Amino acid sequence: MAQIVLGMGTSHSPMLSTPPEEWGQRAEFDKIAAAHPYRGESYTFDELLEKRKDGNFGDQVSVEIWREKHAVCMERLENMAQAYEAAAPDVAVIFGNDQNEVIVDTNMPAFSVFWGEKLENIPYSEAQKAKLNPGIGIAEPGHTGQQVDVYDGCPELGKHIIEQLIENEFDVGQSTRLPEISDHWWSGVPHAFGFIYRQIMRDTVIPNVPVFTNTFFPPNQPTVARCYKFGKEVRKAVDSWDSNLKVAGFSSGGLSHFTIDEELDRQFLDAIESGDEAQILAIPNDLLVSGTSELKNWIALAGFIADTDLESTAVDYIPCYRSAAGTGNAMAFAIWN
């Protein structure tokens, strides 16, 4: 039987792959963004600035503070890469989401499992770079290299997961190759997965099964409870896989962004770290919107590791503000081994 030897959750924000001196590029975009969801409402930047003025977030907006926080984040990623290397898994299951990169409006399942032979990680073309919002292109090295990198999928495990999910009443989407969409802003595996390949696996990528959750786009986003149950069913499938290989589980994304909500994040991390199912299921669905919806990838991972022998050994949280309105990305890094 396969053995689950490692669980990891990490943010994958472009800010992690951007020199801290350049974090202000995204702050300028925040000021012109049409809407900023926060606590069940949506605000313009100026409205958000007024609503959150008592948070004094401007005190955390300086290059010196950005450098300090970026350095801590890099240290945490290094710790994760070392723990990954020490665990030496043979195969990975990665819970991530797509942001209209390869899963687009023509067909957008709530859950989908990739079980193809190969995965291509493709850098931006010049035409694609021209389509990007400010502060995105500079972060490209965090999730793609300078050339097309081709990695191994794990068709045997992917197919087994799909079959077991269907057997257990999850009518999951599936694919054996990523679509090639003409005149689109993205090509290849989404950045949620590319970040794991580059920052945790350090380009020594083991065979892996990308598991997509539609966290962003209504109306078919799965709920907190459904994501947790889904992760449990994926783990049961791994447990029943006739293999002696060691398996790692990853979640990629979060925490709250593009408006940071420390209260929600700390409630979430307390629940995830304790492994308390009732606490996890109490996380409010209506607050998991926009980038904050990526917490659902972590919730699937929590279900995946819930009935294993893995224990939480490291959890860290670094809210990285980039404007006085409290916009930015809250970073989190967690290890279960």
Number of independent structural domains in the chain = 1
149 strand-pairing partners: 121
Backbone angles phi, psi at 91, to 5 degrees: -145, 150
Q: What is the mean pLDDT of residues 175-191?
A: 91
DSSP 169-181: T---EEESS----
The CATH code of the domain that includes 84 is 3.40.830.10
Identify the pLDDT of residue 182.
85
Does the pLDDT value for residue 183 go beyond 90? no
Strands (DSSP E) found in 155-267: 173-175, 208-213, 246-252
H or E stretch including 156?
Answer: helix 155-167
Weakest-pLDDT range from 183-187, 265-269, 287-291: 183-187
The predicted pLDDT at position 58 comes to 95
Give the model's pLDDT for residue 133. 87
Decide if pLDDT at 135 tops 90: no
pLDDT of residue 185: 86
Q: Which domain holds residue 269?
A: 3-336
Q: Which amino acid is at 121?
A: N
105, 98 Cβ separation under 8 angstroms: no
Phi and psi (nearest 5°) for 22? Answer: -105, 5
Q: How far is CA 318 from CA 10, 12, 140, 219, 333, in A?
A: 12, 13, 22, 31, 9
pLDDT at 35: 92
Q: Is the pLDDT of residue 215 over 90?
A: yes
Percentages helix, strand, coil for the chain, rounded to the nearest 5?
A: 40, 20, 35
> Which 8-state DSSP code applies to residue 326?
S
How many Cβ atoms are within 10 Å of 38's Cβ, its own excluded?
25
Check pLDDT > 90 for residue 231: yes
pLDDT at 134 over 90: no
Q: In whole angstroms, what is the distance from residue 337 CA to residue 327 CA?
A: 33
pLDDT at residue 260, as a whole number: 98
Lowest mean pLDDT among 112-116, 175-179, 292-296, 327-331: 175-179
Residue 71 has pLDDT above 90, yes or no: yes
Sign of the torsion angle spanned by Cα atoms 217, 223, 228, 233 = negative
Kindly report the average pLDDT of the chain as a whole number. 96
- What pLDDT, in 10s, does the model give residues 76-132? 999 999 999 999 999 999 999 999 999 999 999 999 999 999 999 999 999 998 988
Close Cβ partners of 85 (under 8 Å, ≥ 6 residues apart) = none
293-319 confidence digits (pLDDT tens): 999 999 999 999 999 999 999 999 999
Q: Hey, how many other C-beta atoms are within 10 angstroms of the C-beta on 114?
A: 25
